[in-house]
Amino acid sequence: MSIASLRRATKESVSGLPREFWWLWVNTLINRLGAFVATFLAFYLTLERGYSASYAGLVVALHGLGGVVSSLGAGVMTDRLGRRPTLLLAQAATAVSVALLGLMERPAGIAAVAFLVGMTSNASRPAVQAMMADIVRPEDRVRAFSLNYWAINLGIAISSTTAGLVAEYSYLACFMGEAVLTLACAVLVAWKLPESRPERGGNRPDDRQPGMGSVLRDGRYMGVVGLSFLVSLIFMQGWVGLPVAMGRDGWSSADYGLVVAANGIMIVALQIPVTRFIRHRDPQRLLVVSALLAGYGFGATAFAGSLGVHAVVVCVWTIAEMVNSPTQMGLVVRLSPVHGRGRYQGVYTLSWSIAALVAPLMAGVIIDRLGTGWLWGSCAALGTVAGAGYWLLMRGLPGADAETHETGGTNEPEGTSGHDAGTGARTDAGSRTGEQNGTPVGDGAGAPGGGP
């Protein structure tokens, strides 16, 4: 690809998105630049503090349990209280709890505060995802989710390497650095991000917020949530199983940081062209292939005997991530009614939260009792099951292009939603906040080409 073609592809990938999206993107980037706890907590507990793999798994599981507790509550808050207040409260509380975790000395205190960190940090997810769905047009959502995922991994690529080196001298500095950067995210929310929750007229059935029972009875959606859980169990092993396994093989935290940084670097380099490749392709095939690639990519870790091979294996399952994340997020939004996005995103987030609870326990028990080879074999099996599940679940679901044709080109006001006949797929039109008859109103925040 020539330089001119690359520039044109980049411009097409980033142009036309509203200004609020870019501030949310910056918020994500800053947050991930300080992402130390989720990445290095297992290393911190086993190498720095000398605890067993089982105890480290328990603490990381409690971090995940905190996310389970907050997921549904944060989803309801996102719909009722609003996206901006929920995000502001969650990030400010995360900054305080992360700093406190770095100061904890006793095992019980570490476990309790890890639970608190998981609860506060996870509470921001439904708000971020719902806000992004609110402010980005339906036809641009896969692109927007890809760019946000790009920001996540750009931050991880930098923080994994930096924090790994800093941790060689002071883990406390890493905890405090994350607290400061997360507090900066809260300041950015208060300063630059307006509320995006769609207004409700109250006279139409679609204007009413669905209860949590409606979400749980949505069969196709809950199937997606279940498959997300399986895929999450696999990807979580990059942050809980892989560091413990590498530590047992004699690698240092800096070695692990360099290997896992390949994940972020590859995404930063390739996410934009990958997004262009998958944008108009069948999401069923993309999700099936990505699930299989994730499972067998992690399975190949059993044969990694050097840092170079570890890095190659990371690159394999990174490709699965680059395809799976934006495709699945686009599917989740398609299946979510406009005025229930917070609750639907909360339940979706719950799949990751439960995986964050189960994955470290799974890794700790399997590694301690059976060995690392069994862990990577289990990942391959989970990938196979998830791939088959996506193939069965998405039969008959209309393609994203068909849905965009139905929703993105209408002149209906925000909040119009319904069910696609015979499929269970929801559609929504004019989903930018404050947008009517296809024309942005208000302060012009939705102007094409807007940026921070």
Tokens of 67: 């996310």
Cβ-contact 198, 331 below 8 angstroms: no
> Cα–Cα distance between 93 and 113 in angstroms, integer?
12
> Cα–Cα distance between 300 and 57 in angstroms, integer?
22
Grouping H, G, I as helix, E, B as strand and the rest as coil, residue 429 is coil
> Cα–Cα distance between 235 and 233 in angstroms, integer?
6
Q: Name beta bridge partners: 417.
A: 428
How far the first Cα of the chain sits from its last, in Å, is 29
> Cα–Cα distance between 312 and 449 in angstroms, integer?
37
> Cα–Cα distance between 332 and 344 in angstroms, integer?
8
Grouping H, G, I as helix, E, B as strand and the rest as coil, residue 51 is coil
> Cα–Cα distance between 424 and 429 in angstroms, integer?
16
Pairing of strands 439-440, 435-436: antiparallel
Grouping H, G, I as helix, E, B as strand and the rest as coil, residue 424 is coil
Phi, psi of 305 (to 5 degrees): -115, 0
Q: Residue 401 class from Cβ within 10 Å (0-12 exposed, 13-18 middle, 19+ buried)?
A: middle
> Cα–Cα distance between 19 and 267 in angstroms, integer?
23
> Cα–Cα distance between 147 and 144 in angstroms, integer?
5
Q: Which of 34, 35, 46, 37 is nearest to 363 (CA)?
A: 46
Other CB atoms closer than 10 Å to residue 16's CB: what's the count? 17
Pairing of strands 435-436, 417-419: unpaired
Q: Which of 435, 447, 448 is nearest to 407 (CA)?
A: 435
Cβ-contact 25, 271 below 8 angstroms: no
Torsion-angle region of 432 (φ positive above 0: left; ψ -120 to 50: alpha; else: beta): beta
> Cα–Cα distance between 223 and 166 in angstroms, integer?
42
Query: Read out DSSP for 86-125?
Result: HHHHHHHHHHHHHHHHHH--SHHHHHHHHHHHHHHHHTHH
- Please state, in angstroms and as integers, the Cα–Cα distance from residue 128 to each residue in 83, 103, 153, 215, 419, following that order: 7, 29, 16, 19, 24
> Which amino acid does the sequence have at 431?
S
Tokens of 363: 């890794």
Residue 189 CB partners (closer than 8 Å, separation 6+): 27, 84, 87, 88, 91
Q: Which of 227, 198, 354 is nearest to 346 (CA)?
A: 354
Return the pLDDT at 113: 93
Instruction: Please state the pTM of the whole predicted model.
Output: 0.65
> Cα–Cα distance between 245 and 264 in angstroms, integer?
20
Residue 296 CB partners (closer than 8 Å, separation 6+): 316, 380, 383
Pairing of strands 435-436, 426-428: unpaired
Q: Rounded to 5, what percent of the chain is helix, strand, coil? A: 75, 0, 25
Orientation angle between helical segments 307-334 and 341-369, nearest 10 degrees? 150
> Cα–Cα distance between 417 and 340 in angstroms, integer?
11
Tens digit of each residue's pLDDT, the chain (452 residues)? 556 665 666 666 677 788 889 999 999 889 888 777 777 787 788 877 878 877 887 888 788 788 788 877 888 888 888 889 999 999 999 999 999 998 888 888 899 999 999 889 888 888 888 898 888 887 788 788 888 888 887 787 787 777 777 777 788 888 898 899 999 999 999 998 888 887 765 555 455 566 667 778 888 889 989 999 999 999 999 888 898 888 887 787 778 888 887 887 787 788 878 877 887 788 888 999 999 999 999 999 988 878 888 889 999 999 998 899 888 888 888 888 877 777 888 888 888 878 877 888 888 889 888 888 899 999 999 999 999 999 988 876 655 444 443 333 333 333 333 333 333 333 343 333 333 333 222 333 232 233 33
Query: Read out DSSP for 292-346?
Result: HHHHHHHHGGGG--SHHHHHHHHHHHHHHHHHHHHHHHHHHHHTS-GGGHHHHHH
Return the pLDDT at 422: 35
Cβ-contact 252, 394 below 8 angstroms: no
